[in-house]
Amino acid sequence: MEGQMSRVFPYFLSRPANLLAEPFVATELPTKRPRFVAGDPRPWVRGTLKILENQGSPALPWSEDADFILAPWPNPGKECQDLCRLLAGVDSSTPVALYERDFPVLPNTVIQRRGEQTSSGPEVSDSLSRFRASLRHGGKGEAEALVLLPAQRMKLILKGSFLATFQPRSKDSLQSRRYLHHLLDHHRSLSVLARVDQELSDSQHHRDNPEERVLALAPHFDDEVLLLGAELAQAVESECPMRLLWLTDGGKEGEKRRTEGARAAKILGVSETACLNAPESNIRAHGKWTQDLRQHLEEFKPTRILMPWWLDNHVDHFELTRVLRAAWPTGFPSCTLSLTGFWTPLPFGANVPVHAKLEEALRQHESQLTSLDYVASFAGLNAWYGGSSERPSSRTWDVPAKDYFAAFKESGSGLRRYRNP
């Protein structure tokens, strides 16, 4: 990562209740002369452009009089370098808003689309905005996720420099200390994982194990559907040995959520299940759940493990990587991690068709559907992965465990620690 100043020591953040980044809802934007770069933003952020028009300041192509910059989150390499050069030439306080196009963002801002005409844009964009409504709008309607920061701060983030976290604002600010650290790790991780993806593509890594044994690790009751459902359905159809483990205890509604999870697993066709009973939203890398997971690994001997990638925007989804790494038995044989994402979609990997029974399984989680329309968000994400609501797909990225753990360490994310508020 060019320009990166690497982390050396562990660092401590206050523990989020659930999402690592909970974006603010914006109804106006600080600009009179917004300008866009790196392509036409209309297919991706129609709601954002509508706000600018309503303010009497429609976004125009780049010019040097810009007081607000709109661009896609850049691809690693040349596109990122080009954007950094542009940001170096503007006033350090100029607001910069980066939106999702090729890569997911860890947003601090969300824009709700209100009655926008969607027929003029690509369905993939509409699907993503339906999914992103889960961030602050209960899964209702459509929304757009943005990273909104001053130019100097954004440039340091994109350079991978820990200087981006210096002089943060208050905890309720777009530039809070916790958010800046999470965003820096997000960018560094994407850069490292993009390189790993290229290396795996060059080596033509494929699934070719005729004696596959699948272990599924779901952080919560409902993640067996949202994160792992498509792969679980395929594993059931292939009749390979499989086991589903829920990491956390379900919190205050633990018994109800266990019942819901058991019903969902039955619909998926999964019969061998267990719960590791880690405290929800309060997981540590080391605990009884770590020892229990190690026992499952040693006894079941999986050849493939289904789990969320560490960039998924939830504290328990992140902590699962640390727990698995701590539980990994010494001398354990080579194993593939099949990574998925819900709160932060995967930009890498291969699509997996979504079985019709997944919606029925998801609807078993009635306790979760009361606060968020997961069914609509799940459908939006699957349509985005598949490129159309007619071809809903999940996405899985297969990475050798040793490469994944090495990338986790290289990104600096493994040095993150949480303190309870």
CATH (domain of 254): 3.40.50.10320
Inter-CA distances, 130 with 33, 138, 374, 381, 407, Å: 29, 11, 11, 8, 31
Kindly state whether residue 366 falls inside one of the protein's structural domains: yes
Kindly state whether residue 376 falls inside one of the protein's structural domains: yes
- Of residues 313 and 6, more confidently modeled: 313
Q: Are 148 and 256 members of one domain? A: no
Q: Are 139 and 81 members of one domain? A: yes
Q: Are 76 and 181 members of one domain? A: yes
- The domain boundary, picked from 166, 199, 232, lies at 199
Is the model's pLDDT at 362 over the cut of 60? Answer: yes
Distance between the two ends of the chain, CA-based, in angstroms?
A: 33
Kindly state whether residue 61 falls inside one of the protein's structural domains: yes
Write down the mean pLDDT value for the chain. 93
Q: Are 187 and 216 members of one domain? A: no
- The domain boundary, picked from 199, 225, 246, lies at 199
What local confidence, expressed as pLDDT, does residue 4 receive? Answer: 54
Q: Which residues are registered as beta bridge partners of 95?
A: 150
Q: Are 21 and 88 members of one domain? A: yes
CB 25 within 8 A of CB 136: yes
CB 309 within 8 A of CB 219: no
Q: Which token pair is 283?
A: 């997981």
Q: Are 187 and 233 members of one domain? A: no
CB 296 within 8 A of CB 215: yes
Kindly state whether residue 340 falls inside one of the protein's structural domains: yes
Q: Which residues contact 110 (CB under 8 A, 6 or more apart)?
A: 23, 24, 25, 26, 132, 135, 136, 137, 143, 144, 145, 146
**Strand duo 416-419 + 11-14: pairing:** parallel
Q: Are 334 and 185 members of one domain? A: no
Q: pLDDT tens-digit profile of 33-78? A: 999 999 999 999 999 999 999 999 999 999 999 999 999 999 999 9
Q: Which residues contact 23 (CB under 8 A, 6 or more apart)?
A: 107, 108, 109, 110, 135, 136, 145, 146
Kindly state whether residue 4 falls inside one of the protein's structural domains: no
Length of the chain: 421
What local confidence, expressed as pLDDT, does residue 125 receive? Answer: 76
Inter-CA distances, 29 with 71, 123, 130, 279, 379, Å: 15, 26, 22, 39, 30
Is the model's pLDDT at 163 over the cut of 90? Answer: yes
- The domain boundary, picked from 150, 172, 199, lies at 199
Q: pLDDT tens-digit profile of 300-331? A: 999 999 999 999 999 999 999 999 999 999 99
Kindly state whether residue 351 falls inside one of the protein's structural domains: yes
What local confidence, expressed as pLDDT, does residue 211 receive? Answer: 84
* Number of domains comprising the chain: 2
Q: Which token pair is 58?
A: 């429609």
Q: Where are the beta strands (DSSP E) in 100-248?
A: 109-113, 142-150, 214-218, 242-248
Q: Are 186 and 262 members of one domain? A: no
CB 281 within 8 A of CB 253: no
Q: Which domain holds residue 68?
A: 11-199
Is the model's pLDDT at 109 over the cut of 60? Answer: yes
Q: Are 192 and 242 members of one domain? A: no
In angstroms, the CA 153 to CA 371 distance is: 34
Is the model's pLDDT at 2 over the cut of 70? Answer: no
Closest CA to 345 of 314, 385, 398: 385
Inter-CA distances, 188 with 185, 373, 418, Å: 5, 31, 19
CB 339 within 8 A of CB 397: yes
Kindly state whether residue 49 falls inside one of the protein's structural domains: yes
Q: Which residues contact 31 (CB under 8 A, 6 or more apart)?
A: 52, 55, 57, 67, 68, 95
Q: Which residues contact 54 (CB under 8 A, 6 or more apart)?
A: none
Kindly state whether residue 150 falls inside one of the protein's structural domains: yes
pTM: 0.94
Q: Are 244 and 385 members of one domain? A: yes
pLDDT tier, 6 (very low <50, low <70, confident <90, very high otherwise):
low
Q: Are 272 and 169 members of one domain? A: no
Q: Are 193 and 223 members of one domain? A: no
- Of residues 317 and 389, more confidently modeled: 317
Is the model's pLDDT at 208 over the cut of 70? Answer: no
CB 329 within 8 A of CB 294: yes
